[in-house]
Amino acid sequence: MLSDVWSGDRIRLMSNEAMQVRALRGRVVTPDHIIDDGAVVLSGAHIAWVGPADQAARAGFGGAVEQAQAAPEGGYLLPGLVDVHCHGGGGESFPNAETAEQAMVSVLEHRRFGTTSLVASCVTAAPDVLRARTRVLAGLCEGGELAGIHFEGPFVSVERCGAQDPTYIIDPDAALTRELIELGGGHVVTMTIAPEKPGIIGDDGVNAALIEGGALPSFGHTDSEAAPVRAALADAAARIAERLEAGKPVRSPRSTATHLFNGMRPMHHRTPGPVPEFLAAAQRGECVLEMIGDGVHLSPAIVLDMFETLGRDNVVLVTDAMAAAGMADGDYVLGSQPVTVADGVARLTEGGAIAGGTAHLIDVVRTTWQGGVDLVDAVYAASVQGAQILGDPSVGALRAGLWADVVVTDAELRPVTVLRRGEAVEHSA
């Protein structure tokens, strides 16, 4: 779990005399506020100090800050963003990547726009295909290129499958879940499951297999009424709480909901469906709700409503991006499904269902901010929150001791420089 492991603003990795440091300067977006004239001091691959530029000398970093790379006028320094739901970009997709090289095309497409920690999302497919993709993606996780793996299916609702291929949707299978977790080598972060399906709850259910295996259930692609959702959420919350009380590891203390509102029965006052249950669970501190705040999947107004209703601690911004992210309109593939992108919107070629996003996470943050959400909160939901879901305290914020993952933007949140682990990432404007 992400916590204030490093309580101060400074970490001394070695003596000041020996320390080789460099600095960035601009409007620094921290988890709690914006430092209008701030500095982020880097020591190698880590952050050494964060604070107001006029306090740098007192902290021993005056020389570095005097020579700092400055953001464009009015520009910002953001933490590297953390996307926990992404299917691809740059013309390639994780569900179709048969090699590490293919998968890396998508990783680098998002990285150069500021997403320095990325979870690779698969889609519903035959078990053998899921096994093969897991092996490829787990290797990239081991190499530090990916932050984890997300399975969107195959235990989802046919009625609310969206761009998932219904041919391969099956009933929940705890044994297959455990097998995929084992193949993932500890890197499986979440699995999207429909709570109304059999085999979700109970000691032999998929909830238990995920949580015991170091992953989280993510409830979604569901046509459920309220009761099964409440039961599945309660089952997951109880299992996580039991492990925490026993001192056993958990990925994160809360389950998640896959792209709130999308891929689920809409709310109605006589047939409420899953949405109110997810909102209530978030308020109880049991669930974090994904939102694709790209202006296509959700109106910026409903995103603002959710921030105001639930608070930033209960939502996480994601892209749900597919191969067309960063690419021109045209024809693409998501898993086994042909997709057509027109005017930047991806839809199934047959049927017209929205088939993932085409935005980078920085675009989602910008759209959310321009829709009225405070910038600090929008960035928090795209960085700290993702790190908490990952259970990774080394990323997600501009804080001393964390990895030197920094996004330098102009005043409109367009990235101009991206650093990952202190190294510059090739950027394309």
pLDDT by residue for the chain (429 residues), tens only, comes to 333 333 333 334 333 333 479 999 999 999 999 999 999 999 999 999 999 999 999 999 999 999 999 999 999 999 999 999 999 999 999 999 999 999 999 999 999 999 999 999 999 999 999 999 999 999 999 999 999 999 999 999 999 998 889 999 999 999 999 999 999 999 999 999 999 999 999 999 999 999 999 999 999 999 999 999 999 999 999 999 999 999 999 999 999 999 999 999 999 999 999 999 999 999 999 999 999 999 999 999 999 999 999 999 999 999 999 999 999 999 998 888 899 999 899 899 988 888 889 999 999 999 999 999 999 999 999 999 999 999 999 999 999 999 999 999 999 999 999 999 999 998 544
State the pLDDT at residue 427: 59
Tokens representing 198 are 């059999």
CATH fold for the domain made of 22-78+398-425:
Urease, subunit C; domain 1 (2.30.40)
User: Bridge-partner residues for 117, per DSSP?
Assistant: 82
Question: DSSP secondary-structure letter at 10?
Answer: B
The residues, ordered by sequence, that sit 6+ positions from 82 with a Cβ below 8 Å of its Cβ are 115, 116, 117, 118, 147, 382, 383, 384, 385, 386, 387, 390, 395, 396
Whether 219 contacts 194, CB under 8 Å: yes
Respond yes or no on whether the N-terminal peptide bond of residue 274 is cis (omega within 30° of 0): no
Q: Which residues contact 268 (CB under 8 A, 6 or more apart)?
A: none
Tokens of 329: 């309109």
Q: Give the count of beta carbons closer than 10 Å to the beta carbon of residue 52.
A: 15
Residue 136, H or E segment? helix 127-142
- Topology (CATH) of 81-390: TIM Barrel (3.20.20)
Half-sphere exposure (CA, 13 Å, Cβ side) for 317? 36
Give pLDDT, residue 381: 98
HSE-CB at 14 with a 13 A cutoff on CA atoms is: 9
pLDDT score of 13: 38
pLDDT (0 to 100) of residue 11:
39
* Angle at alpha carbon of residue 57, lines to 53 and 62, rounded to 5°: 75
pLDDT for the residue numbered 1: 39
- Residues 375, 29 contacting (CB under 8 angstroms): yes
Q: How far is CA 320 from CA 38, 122, 297, 428, in A?
A: 32, 11, 10, 21
Q: Which residue spans of the chain are classified as CATH 3.20.20.140?
A: 81-390
Q: Are strands 46-52 and 115-123 parallel, antiparallel or unpaired?
A: unpaired
Boundaries of CATH 2.30.40.10 in the chain? Answer: 22-78+398-425
What is the CB neighbour count within 10 angstroms for residue 101?
10
Q: Which residues contact 98 (CB under 8 A, 6 or more apart)?
A: 132, 136
Residue whose C-alpha is closest to residue 190's, from 123, 107, 255:
255
Burial of 309-343, coded b for 16+ CB within 10 Å and e otherwise, reads: ebebbbbbbbbbbbbbbbbeeeebbbbbbebbbee
The whole-angstrom separation of Cα 38 and Cα 357 is 33
SS3 category, 68: coil
Strand, coil or helix: what is 168?
A: helix
